[in-house]
Structure 1
Amino acid sequence: MKVPGRRGGDEDPVAAVRRREQAFPVRRKWITPVGFVVVAVLLWWLLRDEDPAEVWSHIRAANPWLLLLAVAVTTASFPVRAIRWRYLLEPSQQDSPFRSRFAAVCIGFMTNNLLPRVGEFARAYAYSKREPVTAATAFGTLVVERFLDAVAILALLLAALASPGFPADGLPPEVVTGIRLACLFLGVIVIGSLILLGAPERSADAARRFGRVLLPASLAEGLASLVQGFAKGLEAFRGWRLIVPAVLWSFVVWTMQALSFWIGFLAFDIRLGYDAALFTNGSV
């Protein structure tokens, strides 16, 4: 089954899922149990050095309604992320469907819960399977998104450090070093993005020449195509009309995330201010 507006030969994702479920009913039956096993193993690894009785006592003492509220606030940031993504996808796909963006965001976070840092690739791939956008282009928009996240997180972190009630003098040296490295990383990302935006064709040619030295010709061409798609995904940087609302939505995302941390503090009767939640937000 083909859907109008999709790339030639692409199958409707819903029909594809149903076809696979019919072809492999046993495999589908095991997906949920395997997921629970993976989560159980990860929880065991995370808490292996802790006293289970003490952990359980803290959980029982927590306010369940505040915990649910913290989870709700975190989950509410998913559609906000999908809204922000529209502005970054605009140069490549005008009026991208919210449903596809939201589904890809959820897939990305689900993947991150199992395999940290892999979720962005899964998100770009999932979106490319639903919409006429290449995975490289979608991933390029996520690089822009991570840059905006870093800007918002660092700005909120600096706001927390500047708060009158925050004990900034007691920060360990490694935290200060981490903040400096984050700023350096941002600088590298900005410079690389500007190079790609300013000379996308030259960047692709450079990638092709570099690839031919180390890779077979077919892979070198693939690398050049990847760089071109990546540069296309960065085109949101070209216009203030797109980047300004994306920046504003980034601050909304991370103030919501910090709010969920703060509510979590309150649920466990940890009496810290919102500035501590902002600091935690930037630290993790």
Structure 2
Amino acid sequence: MGRILGVLKIIVPLALGVWLVFYFYRQLSGEHKQQLFDAFGRADMIWLWLSVLLGWLSHISRAWRWRYLLDHMGYHPRFWNCYHAVMSGYFMNLLLPRAGEASRAALLYRREKIPFEKGFGTIMAERAVDLILLFLLTLTTILLQFEKLDLFRERIAGFRADQGTSEEGGWGGLFLAILALGVLSGGYFLATRPALRARLMDTLRGFGEGLRSVTATRHKGPYLLHTLLIWVLYVGMFAVGFLCLPATSSVPWAGILAGFVAGAFGIVLVQGGIGVYPAFVAVIVSIYMAPPVGGGLLRPEALAMGWLIWTAQTLMIIVLGGISLLLISRSKATA
């Protein structure tokens, strides 16, 4: 059963991502499909290269920040070993969901002999801090743009009317049914499998210990500064991508923040964000643009921009992450 669940955790999110790619593409009219491909051809690659640079700098900052928590535990790894472990972790996450955290800690043990559980605990701390910041950014974005919810509902209603879908049932009902099934299944497994309950409690304790290590470090100032820098670079990386197309270059900051949050949840939902990231970004960003000519839910330029940003960042992870994995795997342990 455990092996089946592990396979399903990989296949189901990927299937969802692939389905979304074809679903949203089918919703485009012939004219909109042509506009989509025209947008790819008109993209200003200079802005995409700048977006990639900002994304890479955020990974460098993350490697520096990691060293502060390890230093608190009495370990002093070299920066480049931390950097290569971080990039290798991102690379592994593209192959297997959640494999990046474990491989990152394992690679640091191989190179610096820092115990796996210690390194993994600091990574859990990072995840806890990042989740808190994502939650705060999401809450702020919603509060600042609450009036857009009505417009979003109007766009969805118009799209459903064009598709001949009734307001009741449909995808909303299917989503709620799947959500309820997931909750019930999760509750059943937690109630009947003590090992699974113990694993969940270990994970929650790991988050708690990670947060305590953040508050206990003697490098609180630099740690918080790097945390802020990482998220500023994340948002900047995303915002710069809007400038690669004339149609998206005028999207206001409110739309950029909303699109960023939507894309972030897309990456959390599906391994690597394939299919989901561009779709989520396009749906939200299209609200801040003029409605598509001829109807529809998405602006083709918004969908193209989402794919351009996702592709650029993913290729950066594949190339630089692959190089880091090769280098750190071939290196000998530090004496």
Match of 1:88 among 52, 69, 93: 69
Percent identity reads 28
CA displacement, residues 90-123 of structure 1 (integer Å, 9 cap, x when unaligned): 2224432101100100001111223333211221
- For residues 253 and 45 of structure 1, the distance between their equivalents in structure 2, rounded to whole angstroms, comes to 32
* 2:48 corresponds to 1:70: no
- For residues 44 and 162 of structure 1, the distance between their equivalents in structure 2, rounded to whole angstroms, comes to 32
Match of 1:169 among 133, 144, 147: 147
- For residues 118 and 82 of structure 2, the distance between their equivalents in structure 1, rounded to whole angstroms, comes to 14
Conserved? CA contact 1:104–1:127, under 8 Å? yes
* 2:106 corresponds to 1:129: no
- Structure 1 gap ranges (5+): 1-40, 175-212
Conserved? CA contact 1:70–1:263, under 8 Å? yes
The residue correspondences of 1:19-168 to structure 2 (distance < 5 A) are 47-49=21-23, 50=25, 55-161=36-142, 163=144, 167-168=145-146
- For residues 233 and 254 of structure 2, the distance between their equivalents in structure 1, rounded to whole angstroms, comes to 13
CA displacement, residues 233-262 of structure 1 (integer Å, 9 cap, x when unaligned): 665234263344323211211111111111
Conserved? CA contact 1:236–1:242, under 8 Å? no
- Tell me the TM-score normalised to structure 2 length: 0.49
* 2:245 corresponds to 1:268: yes
Conserved? CA contact 2:67–2:77, under 8 Å? yes
CA displacement, residues 172-219 of structure 1 (integer Å, 9 cap, x when unaligned): 799xxxxxxxxxxxxxxxxxxxxxxxxxxxxxxxxxxxxxx967xxxx
- For residues 35 and 103 of structure 2, the distance between their equivalents in structure 1, rounded to whole angstroms, comes to 37
Residue 256 of structure 2 aligns with an amino acid whose one-letter code is A
User: Match of 1:281?
Assistant: 260
Residue 238 of structure 2 aligns with an amino acid whose one-letter code is F
Conserved? CA contact 1:160–1:276, under 8 Å? no
Partner of 1:116, secondary structure, is coil
- For residues 72 and 86 of structure 2, the distance between their equivalents in structure 1, rounded to whole angstroms, comes to 19
- For residues 155 and 230 of structure 1, the distance between their equivalents in structure 2, rounded to whole angstroms, comes to 18
- For residues 130 and 46 of structure 2, the distance between their equivalents in structure 1, rounded to whole angstroms, comes to 29
Partner of 1:95, secondary structure, is coil
Partner of 2:219, secondary structure, is helix
- For residues 134 and 203 of structure 2, the distance between their equivalents in structure 1, rounded to whole angstroms, comes to 29
Conserved? CA contact 2:85–2:105, under 8 Å? yes
Residue 274 of structure 1 aligns with an amino acid whose one-letter code is W
RMSD: 3.8
- Tell me the TM-score normalised to structure 1 length: 0.57
Conserved? CA contact 1:141–1:233, under 8 Å? yes
- For residues 18 and 143 of structure 2, the distance between their equivalents in structure 1, rounded to whole angstroms, comes to 38
- For residues 234 and 211 of structure 2, the distance between their equivalents in structure 1, rounded to whole angstroms, comes to 25
Residue 263 of structure 1 aligns with an amino acid whose one-letter code is V
Deviation at 1:68?
Answer: 1.2
Greater relative contact order (Cα < 8 A, sep 6+): 2
- Structure 2 gap ranges (5+): 1-14, 27-32, 154-192, 265-335
Q: Count matched residues.
A: 198
* 2:222 corresponds to 1:245: yes
Residue 218 of structure 2 aligns with an amino acid whose one-letter code is R
Partner of 2:85, secondary structure, is helix
Moved over 6 A (4+): 41-46, 225-232
